[in-house]
Amino acid sequence: MIPDPDTLLIVGSIAFDDLDMPGGEHRNVLGGSATYASLAASLLLRPGATRIVGVVGNDFSESILSDLQARGIETSGVERASGRTFRWHGRYSDDLASRTTLDTQLNVFADFSPKVPREHRASSFVFLGNIHPKLQVDVVEQVARRKFVAADTMNFWISGEPAHLAQMLRCVDLLVVNDEEARQLSGIHNLVRAAADIRKRGPKALVIKRGEFGALLFDDSGTFFVPAYPLEDVVDPTGAGDSFAGGLMGYLASQGEVSPLILRKAMFFAAALGSFCVESIGPARLQSLGRSELSARIGAFARLVDHGGDLLRSS
Ligand code: AMP
């Protein structure tokens, strides 16, 4: 099997979300970790190079899949099972800084056992969205010629499935988590120390997302930081973390290889895609986003952190 150099396989949830926002309630919004990550990555890859693997129920219309395909996402790995699609209901605080899960209905996701279609097993890059760590390992094993694997996880698996999570960590190159998850996983509050601890357990690189406070990358070349893009209007943070990870992996796959410099550039694409995600309810902004808008935001990001290169001269 010859590896496909610039292809990205994404596995995770595909969902309908009910979102209680300070400004109103939104029902049956398209969601899920794989959905957000694929929409973000597909902006950076040629049509068909972003491959989504997940499960939906009878209530998931063909037209939603067609919309994903129209964005260049290959959907032959989306299984249709009899029953209802995974549903998540969340309520955000008035300042959008925190959210509470009101209800999670696994539905067809409960028996999900991801099967990577034969034609996608030569994918070079793999993003394991937030699913049971055992299933994440199963997916990795199906992608024989993988070059670079990244994974996300959540508090539920960190506390509930430590053995499977430890196994998952041993087979990924990059872990992408938020600060709370990094602290919970390592048992260490200081993020620099937490990162060192987690990197000893498998992933050579670690990204810690900090929402509006940006994101940190830790790898063998040191520590790198990208801010969150300062936005006047944040509408809905749902999926920002998945869009960040999808943007990061999409950029890496577009380059066909990973180096410390490429990883650092990828952090900006990740942050830019995360920033677009929060500008609308659900993934609508990502679904309408064009490459020139993305490019303009990357430019704005570069200006945001460009201090001109001056260092303090020794007197
Ligand atoms: P994020 O805001 O990046 O954490 O991602 C939010 C998305 O994750 C929503 O669209 C949900 O449908 C999905 N989600 C919520 N809970 C779970 C879960 N337990 N497993 C998988 N996906 C989930």
Kindly report the three-state secondary structure assignment for every residue of 120-187.
HCCEEEEEECCCCHHHHHHHHHHCCCCCEEEEECCHHHHHHCHHHHHHHHHCCCEEEEEHHHHHHHHC
Taking only the tens place, the pLDDT of each residue in 149-184 is 999 999 999 999 999 999 999 999 999 999 999 999
| Residue minimizing CA distance to atom 1 of ligand 1 | 239
| Residue minimizing CA distance to atom 12 of ligand 1 | 32
| 17 Cα nearest atom in ligand 1 | 12
| 244 Cα nearest atom in ligand 1 | 3
Helices 260-277/240-255 angle, 10° precision:
140
Residue 310 pLDDT: 83
Taking only the tens place, the pLDDT of each residue in 287-302 is 999 999 999 999 999 8
Cβ 63 vs Cβ 75: under 8 Å: no
Please give the average per-residue pLDDT across 222-234, as a whole number. 96
In this structure, the residues whose C-beta lies within 6 A of any atom of ligand 1 are 13, 15, 17, 31-33, 88, 104, 130, 238-242
Centre of ligand 1 to C-alpha 32, Å, is 5
| Residue minimizing CA distance to atom 13 of ligand 1 | 32
* Per-residue pLDDT band at 314 (split at 50, 70, 90): confident
- d(C-alpha 18, C-alpha 100), whole Å: 12
* Per-residue pLDDT band at 280 (split at 50, 70, 90): very high
Cβ 298 vs Cβ 264: under 8 Å: no
* Per-residue pLDDT band at 3 (split at 50, 70, 90): low
* Per-residue pLDDT band at 315 (split at 50, 70, 90): low
- d(C-alpha 14, C-alpha 12), whole Å: 7
Taking only the tens place, the pLDDT of each residue in 103-144 is 999 999 999 999 999 999 999 999 999 999 999 999 999 999
Taking only the tens place, the pLDDT of each residue in 236-258 is 999 999 999 999 999 999 999 99
- pTM check: above 0.75: yes
Residue 308 pLDDT: 87
Cβ 279 vs Cβ 231: under 8 Å: yes
Residue 17's alpha-carbon distances to 66, 120, 126, 199, 219, in angstroms, are 19, 28, 25, 33, 34
Going by the DSSP 8-state scheme, the letter that residue 239 receives in this structure is T
